[in-house]
Amino acid sequence: MLVGLARTSTTDQKAGLEHQIEMLKKLGCEKLFVEETSSVGQRPVLEQATDWVREGDALCVTTLSRLARSVPHLWQIIQRLEEKKVSLRIIDMGVDTATSNGRLLLNLIGSIVQWEREILLERQKIGIKKAQKDGKFRGRVPVARRQTDEIIRLKNEGMAPADIAKALKVGRSSVYRVLADNPIRIKG
């Protein structure tokens, strides 16, 4: 059985979602799972689809970007499908993991996507280092560090570090770090 999965990131992308559904129906998908959610958040409909498919089924998507948010996420999905003896079809790429050529192509594509991501991160690091050198980028100031005076005031009033962390919505270890870095300002 062909099972379709369509996804859009936002509810205002209706035309794109309708196009995906139309393509999946033309392909012959008998069951459709449709979700309107970002790929980075929880994907309950993806979970339902991968739970629902059975041995011999094919999970179909119109494009790789509608399925996975990253290469590791893609491999998790593929592994789960393989355990159930379910193939994956990516329409716009002509990939069908039921065939040896489809599995090879998907591995090549996955490797290229991962390589591109690594190159992008390397360039980003170079750009950040240059910006730091030029004094244009310092990174974000940790939340607890911005509240150093308040942490010390609460500690001097007798509040326990765990309670300070809860009150200021910062990590307990961050409170201890601020206190350790400022021993002179702490009374008693």
CATH number of 2-112: 3.40.50.1390
Which CATH number does 143-182 carry? Answer: 1.10.10
Look at residue 22 and tell me whether its pLDDT is greater than 70.
yes
Domain chopping of the chain, boundaries: 2-112, 143-182
Establish whether 100 is a catalytic residue: no
Better-scored residue on pLDDT, 54 or 142: 54
Over 90: is that where the pLDDT of 41 sits?
no
Q: What is the mean pLDDT of residues 38-49?
A: 82
Check whether 61 has a pLDDT greater than 70: yes
**Over residues 48-57, mean pLDDT:** 95
Q: Determine the Cα–Cα distance for residues 174 and 67; give it in Å rounded to an integer.
A: 37
Q: Which neighbouring-strand residues pair with 59?
A: 3, 88
